[in-house]
């Protein structure tokens, strides 16, 4: 789905123009102390190559932006940086992680964000920029910060969703009713979603760390604490995903142990009843042999046999019951 580009221009930290055509980007950048942000959703190859020619975007970065399924990373080129990151949300009913890739070209006085589809509402970033407009004088780092801050907020929401889901799973494995195959399949799908989420979060830590480094002038001292806060957030998210993965492994192991325990309980009861039933079978089988023995064909012999079966079965029942085998 192709959406009209959204454009913004800041001059000395003040929003000067918005919604202008892409053709004006070069003219605005010709003015001193002007920073331009262009957001493209579902751009065509020609649109991106036009901007590449105007701003000197590296062909490998353009190829990555046009491609699919980039891992989170920060690439350094001679005239700009290329940041690949993702907006994430979890859909429990659909048993999947919804991921929307956002590729960002970062120059000295311009930022180009590229989304392949409209799975992420960039209006959230625009609103965040308006709320922290006092940082606009720090240049392009201000827009990148607002975008990453919104994305990480979404990561925290995703963590909470996974946490609530696995709390319910933890309670359900101790219920009296055994788990159905559909429930186990749902667990497996959500576990796959969690693993995919971890693969998205983990590389982002290195990307944000690289943004903070002093080897380029993107993050000025004025906005450096905000980027350090982003790094702390991504560390917390990474630790939370590690904890959730450990929790999932524990749940799986506990479920297997409980299943074996329940199976052993059933086997104990079946074996106990089989032992009780075996006593009458043994006695009647003994008396049914074609052998002469005391009490054969007499009433007292019948009474002894019946009493032996009843008493022995009762003693076994009491013993098994006391051990909670029945």
Higher pLDDT, 212 or 276: 212
Instruction: Give the pLDDT score at 91.
Output: 84
> CB under 8 Å to 83, separation ≥6 — which residues?
73, 74, 75, 103, 104, 106, 144, 207, 211
d(CA 28, CA 25): 5
Residue 41: phi, psi to the nearest 5?
Answer: -120, 120
- pLDDT band at 52; cut points 50, 70, 90: confident
Which tens digit of pLDDT belongs to each residue from 137-165? 888 999 999 999 999 999 999 999 988 88
Q: Is the pLDDT of residue 1 over 60?
A: no
**Inter-residue contact 209 to 263 (CB < 8 Å):** no
pLDDT of 3 reads: 65
HSE at residue 166, side-chain half, CA atoms within 13 A, is 25
Percentage of residues in the chain having pLDDT higher than 90: 30
Closest listed residue to residue 10, CA positions, set 36, 38, 28, 31: 36
- Check whether domain 3-258 has CATH 3.40.50.720, yes or no: no
Positive/negative CA dihedral, 177, 179, 180, 183: positive
Helices 224-287 and 299-322: crossing angle in degrees, nearest 10, is 170
pLDDT number for residue 10: 92
Predicted pLDDT of residue 292: 66
């Amino acid at each position: 789905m192709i959406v009209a580009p959204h454009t913004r221009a800041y001059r000395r930290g003040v929003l000067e123009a918005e919604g202008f055509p892409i053709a004006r980007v070069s003219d605005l950048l010709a003015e001193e102390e002007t920073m331009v942000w262009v957001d493209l959703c579902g751009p065509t190859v020609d649109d991106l190559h036009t901007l590449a020619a105007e701003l000197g975007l590296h062909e490998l970065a353009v190829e990555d932006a046009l491609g699919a399924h980039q891992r989170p990373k920060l690439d350094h080129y001679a005239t700009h940086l290329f940041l690949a990151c993702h907006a994430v949300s979890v859909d429990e009913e659909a048993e999947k992680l919804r991921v929307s890739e956002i590729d960002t070209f970062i120059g000295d006085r311009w930022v180009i964000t590229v989304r392949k589809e409209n799975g992420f509402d960039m209006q959230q970033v625009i609103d965040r920029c308006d709320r922290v407009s006092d940082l606009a004088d720090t240049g392009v780092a201000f827009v990148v910060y607002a975008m990453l801050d919104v994305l990480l907020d979404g990561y925290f929401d995703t963590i909470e969703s996974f946490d609530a889901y696995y709390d319910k799973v933890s309670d359900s494995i101790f219920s009296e009713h055994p788990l159905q195959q559909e429930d186990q399949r749902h667990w497996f799908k959500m576990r796959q979603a969690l693993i995919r989420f971890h693969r998205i979060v983990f590389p982002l830590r290195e990307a944000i760390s690289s943004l903070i480094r002093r080897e380029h002038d993107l993050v000025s001292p004025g906005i450096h604490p905000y980027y350090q806060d982003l790094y702390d957030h991504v560390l917390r998210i990474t630790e939370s995903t590690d904890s959730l993965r450990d929790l999932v492994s524990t749940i799986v192991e506990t479920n297997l142990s409980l299943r074996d325990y329940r199976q052993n309980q059933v086997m104990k009861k079946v074996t106990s009843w089989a032992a009780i039933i075996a006593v009458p079978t043994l006695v009647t089988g003994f008396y049914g042999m074609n052998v002469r023995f005391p009490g054969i064909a007499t009433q007292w012999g019948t009474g002894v046999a019946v009493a032996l079966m009843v008493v022995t079965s009762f003693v076994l029942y009491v013993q098994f019951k006391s051990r909670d085998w029945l």
